[in-house]
């Protein structure tokens, strides 16, 4: 297969869908002439013109509100919010309108809206441009949440999102934009609610998503040098979440480490742990479920501090080894 960057895969998916379906259009701040804050939409204005690649004023409320209305009127808008932190400005449009319109009107309307937005830390953009807020929307019925970790998934999941009749929050971790990977030729989709085993293992199940997938794979490789085989499960979508895949990997390995960049308290990791506790997988556990997450703190501007508050490869490796060596076993009476 050919190789391309994560950003290129997103651009290709969006461009292919706009060529295929004239109801698809793209709106957001600086997406036209400038090509997007992270260069994702470079060249799209020249191909599709200003009616379908629309630069907007700096008003997330208006941008998302326009998208919701257009979707209810039969179009398929793709909205770009420059940083995921700015979805806070449009929470009413997303949570109270987009997520509820289909339910509220008894299925008379669907809302085929995609909100694409760069997420997470690692660029030195400080506390208001670096958050991981996926748990807000996993908690909101009516919204699907995708967090691709590879270029192939970025393209396949985005095509699925654009074709879906429901609103989708599509989170793109900023540090992934320049990463490269193999991407299939031609039209293909990645289904929502279907996790991927990125590495087979038997000793510890590592459940993760987004940019932490690459770090967990690196940590699993380091653990393998110590004789410990960790299985890495990439959730790919958080709503719907592939609970069956979670249960399978837990029953296979018996020890579980959940890793995500977002804050620990109220994070998606707690829901994953609850899924395990509420299922038959609980009886297969040989140790308590462990979570390795971002610190409960705003993101610092200082690069060293910023890096220190999210899971890193050495820390993930250490947790895998501790679990496998029974250093984190059930307490004994």
Q: Could you report the per-residue pLDDT of 264-322, keeping only the tens digit for each?
A: 999 999 999 999 999 999 999 999 999 999 999 999 999 999 999 999 999 999 999 99
Report the percentage of the chain scoring pLDDT > 90.
92
The low-confidence residues of the chain, meaning pLDDT below 70, are 327-333
Which spans in the chain are helix H? Answer: 6-20, 44-48, 60-72, 91, 101-104, 134-138, 151-163, 212-224, 243-253, 268-277, 303-308, 313-324
Q: What is the CATH number of domain 2-183?
A: 3.40.50.970
The answer to whether the beta carbons of residues 116 and 148 sit under 8 Å apart is no
Gap between the Cα atoms of 264 and 190, Å rounded = 28
260 is catalytic: no
Catalytic-role residue among 102, 129, 198, 290: 129
pLDDT of residue 130: 87
Say if 2-183 and 196-324 have the same CATH topology: yes
What six digits make up the tokens of 331? 């307490």
Sheet of strand 144-146: strand arrangement: 53-55, 24-28, 76-80, 114-119, 168-173, 144-146, 237-239
Q: What integer pLDDT is reported at residue 326 of this predicted model?
A: 76
Per-domain boundaries in the chain: 2-183, 196-324
How far is the C-alpha of 117 from the C-alpha of 172, rounded, in Å? 6
Residues 6+ positions from 270 with CB-CB distance below 8 Å: 291
Report pTM: 0.95
State which CATH number among 3.40.50.620, 3.40.50.920, 3.40.50.300, 1.10.3300.10 fits the domain covering 196-324. 3.40.50.920
256, 284 Cβ separation under 8 angstroms: no
| Structure token digits, residue 49 | 């013109």
Looking at residue 165, the DSSP 8-state letter turns out to be S
The pLDDT value recorded for residue 327 is: 65
**What per-residue confidence (pLDDT) applies to 178?**
95
């Amino acid at each position: 297969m050919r190789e391309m960057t994560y950003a290129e895969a997103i651009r290709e998916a969006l461009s292919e869908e706009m060529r295929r379906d004239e109801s698809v259009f793209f709106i957001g701040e600086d997406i036209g002439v400038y090509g997007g804050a992270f260069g994702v939409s470079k060249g799209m204005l020249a191909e599709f013109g200003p009616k379908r690649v629309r630069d907007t004023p700096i008003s997330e409320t208006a941008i998302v509100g326009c998208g919701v209305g257009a979707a209810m009127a039969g179009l398929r808008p793709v909205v770009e919010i420059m940083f995921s932190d700015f979805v806070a400005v449009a929470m009413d449009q997303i949570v109270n309108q987009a997520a509820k319109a289909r339910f509220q009107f008894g299925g008379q309307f669907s809302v085929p809206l995609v909100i694409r937005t760069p997420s997470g830390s690692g660029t030195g953009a400080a506390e208001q441009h670096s958050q991981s807020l996926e748990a807000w929307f996993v908690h909101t019925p009516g919204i699907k949440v995708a967090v691709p970790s590879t270029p192939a998934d970025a393209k396949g999941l985005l095509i699925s999102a654009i074709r879906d009749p429901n609103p989708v929050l599509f989170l793109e971790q900023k540090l992934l934009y320049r990463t490269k990977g193999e991407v299939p030729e031609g039209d293909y989709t990645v289904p929502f609610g279907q996790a991927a085993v990125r590495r087979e293992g038997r000793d510890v199940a590592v459940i993760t998503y987004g940019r932490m997938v690459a770090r967990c794979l690196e940590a699993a490789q380091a653990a393998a040098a110590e004789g410990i085989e960790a299985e890495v499960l990439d959730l790919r979508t958080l709503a719907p979440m592939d609970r069956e895949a979670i249960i399978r990997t837990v029953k296979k390995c018996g020890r579980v480490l959940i890793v995500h960049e977002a804050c620990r308290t109220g994070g998606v990791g707690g829901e994953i742990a609850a899924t395990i506790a509420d299922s038959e997988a609980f009886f297969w556990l040989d140790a308590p479920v462990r979570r390795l997450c971002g610190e409960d703190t705003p993101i610092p501007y200082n690069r060293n501090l910023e890096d220190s508050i999210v899971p890193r490869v050495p820390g993930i490796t250490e947790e895998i080894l501790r679990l496998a060596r029974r250093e984190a076993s059930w307490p004994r009476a």
